Amino acid sequence: MVLSNLNLLNIRLIAPEIILICTALILLLLDLLVKRKETVAFVGVIGTLLSAYVNFKICALGWSGSILAGMFIFDGYANFFKLIFYINIILTIFISLKYMIIEKASFGEYYALLLFATSGMMIMSGATDLIVLYLGLELMALSTYVLVGLMRRQLRSSEAALKYFFLGAFSSAFLLYGISLTYGLTGTTNLREIAASLQTLNLTDSPILFLGLIFFIVAFGFKIAIVPFHMWAPDVYEGAPTSITAFMSVGPKAAGFAVLGRVLFDAFGDMQVQWAGILAPLSILTMAVGSIVALAQTNIKRMLAYSSIAHAGYILLGVITGTPEGLTSTMNYLFIYAFMNIGAFAVVIMLRSEGFKGEDLSDYEGLAKSHPLASALMLIFMFSLTGIPPTAGFIGKFYVFMEAIKAGYVSLVVIAVIFSVVSAFFYLRVVMYMYMKEPKGEVALTTSAPMGFVLAVTALTTIIIGVFPSYLLNFARFSIPG
């Protein structure tokens, strides 16, 4: 890269990421100086908001484009995902405050790592070069490994971190292998140039490149937890601090879809037939395993882990279509999923109190009697995850189903709707426990103002998008040109 490319005017397009990383570094220092971890969290939120402000100010000014010699791009697609990441981190910080104290794992590094992970995701969403993509992915992954194992006194937390690390490292190796195969054939790591050389070198039928493509799908499949690369998810989701589970079920998944979409559409757009052929059976498998295995879970975190696997299957439908609208439907789904899933996890966290884990489904028995409001919110999230109108979950599903049918995958959609009925059963079971059983004992909820804020935001968004989806749809649509 020539140095003259690095002029300051271009730097402004990665200012959001820079601000976020600087904030994270400040947090690390701040942690040494202040005792109250809430202060650290507060500064973290300010930094995130500043970064978000700068990001969308740049948007509003109409600046966009490719920088750093075409390695990084600031476009609507990346911005849409960044919005998801910003929402994800802010909501996560709010639900963590009290929870991490209860878990006796309230470290300042926690917030710094959240910021690092988020900046990694942002880099992923804007990466147009495989090397930058890898960089972002590793930044995200390494931070999350630590976050998962933060409750170091708990065996299952450490186990989860180790498991996640090993399998994550494994998937990184696949990614690197894929990158090197692609580089070997095309001589470039830039996505656009790969696409160009696919045509000029006539590589679309090359078996080696196909192998490279498979490696990409495997690597990203780990991040978005599709079957058969989902093995880590239930254990990690269960072992990690619940706030991190919420964070992980949305952020890295969305980031994984961001790079999956970017790589498949931008670089391998001409091989749509091939990758759709790989992804279609995987999505069926994902929906099937996620929905069916979730039926047998008694731990709510594990259940939500399988539910998030199943959702990855539905979200994948939008990618499979290979159309820009299909990708839009995927993004739309992820946005909605962020709210309903974090909302559900927020309720799970509320049940955790000093000396009470509150992770078992039976802990929800009769919750509606003692805590009607919390139960009503959980009810909304559960029905939304099922995809019952008038909640946002329905809009998300409807959109991907619509696009998949438009692209001709009718039988795939029929299978998907059948599994969404299967999944209804375990979501309903939570509602059933809350409303239709008698309470066994007194369950105390741990409430706080930030928690209330998160619940209000997520529940209202879930309902409002469900009834008036237009704004979100337009926003998602304008994020993708053409």
Partner 1 sequence: MEDIILNQLNYPILTVTVFLPVMGALLILFMKNANLIRWTTLIVTVGTLIVALPLLNNFDKTTYKMQFVEEHSWIPSWGINYFVGIDGISILFIFLTALLSILCVLVSWKAIETKVKEFHIAILIMEAGMLGVFVSLDFFLFYIFWEAMLIPMFLLIGVWGGSQRIYAAIKFFLYTLVGSVLMLVGIVVLYFYGGKTLDILVLSKLSYPFGLQCWLFLAFFAAFAVKVPMFPVHTWLPDAHTEAPTAGSVILAGVLIKMGAYGFLRFSIPMFPDATKFFIGPIFMLSVIAIIYGALVCFAQKDFKRLIAYSSVSHMGFVTLGLFALNPQGVEGGILQMLNHGIITGALFLMVGIIYERTHTRMIDDYGGFAHVVPWYAGFFMVFTLASIGLPGMNGFIGEFLIIFGAFKVKKLLGILSAIGIILGAGYMLWVYQRVFFEKLNPNYKTSGHHSVWDLDFREVITVVPLIVFVFWIGFYPNTFLSYMHSSVEHLIKNMDANAVAGKEYLIVQYIKEIFGWF
Binding residues for partner 1 (CB under 8 A): 368-369, 372, 379, 383, 388-390, 394, 398, 401-402, 405-406, 410-411, 413-414, 417-418, 420-421, 424-425, 428, 431-432, 435-436, 468-470, 473-474, 477
Does the CA dihedral 129-133-135-136 come out positive or negative?
Answer: positive
Cβ atoms of 294 and 227 within 8 Å: the answer is no
The closest of 106, 46, 91, 39 to 451, measured between CA atoms, is: 91
- Nearer to partner 1 (CB atom), residue 174 or residue 383: 383
Burial of 369 (0-12, 13-18, 19+ CB in 10 A): middle
User: How far is the C-alpha of 165 from the C-alpha of 380, rounded, in Å?
Assistant: 34
Cβ atoms of 329 and 409 within 8 Å: the answer is no
Query: Which of helix, strand or coil describes residue 268?
Result: coil
CB of residue 336 to partner 1, shortest distance in Å: 14
The closest of 202, 326, 312 to 264, measured between CA atoms, is: 326
- Nearer to partner 1 (CB atom), residue 103 or residue 403: 403
- Nearer to partner 1 (CB atom), residue 232 or residue 333: 333
The closest of 81, 318, 348, 386 to 241, measured between CA atoms, is: 348
CB of residue 333 to partner 1, shortest distance in Å: 15
User: How far is the C-alpha of 105 from the C-alpha of 152, rounded, in Å?
Assistant: 8
Burial of 227 (0-12, 13-18, 19+ CB in 10 A): buried
- Nearer to partner 1 (CB atom), residue 97 or residue 455: 455
User: How far is the C-alpha of 164 from the C-alpha of 143, rounded, in Å?
Assistant: 12
CB of residue 383 to partner 1, shortest distance in Å: 6
CB of residue 392 to partner 1, shortest distance in Å: 12
Cβ atoms of 150 and 117 within 8 Å: the answer is no
CB of residue 288 to partner 1, shortest distance in Å: 16
Tokens matching residue 140: 């995200």
CB of residue 206 to partner 1, shortest distance in Å: 33
- Nearer to partner 1 (CB atom), residue 199 or residue 474: 474
Tokens matching residue 354: 């000093």
- Nearer to partner 1 (CB atom), residue 167 or residue 473: 473
- Nearer to partner 1 (CB atom), residue 221 or residue 326: 326
- Nearer to partner 1 (CB atom), residue 288 or residue 473: 473
- Nearer to partner 1 (CB atom), residue 370 or residue 446: 370
Tokens matching residue 299: 């731990």
Tokens matching residue 335: 């946005």
User: How far is the C-alpha of 283 from the C-alpha of 383, rounded, in Å?
Assistant: 22
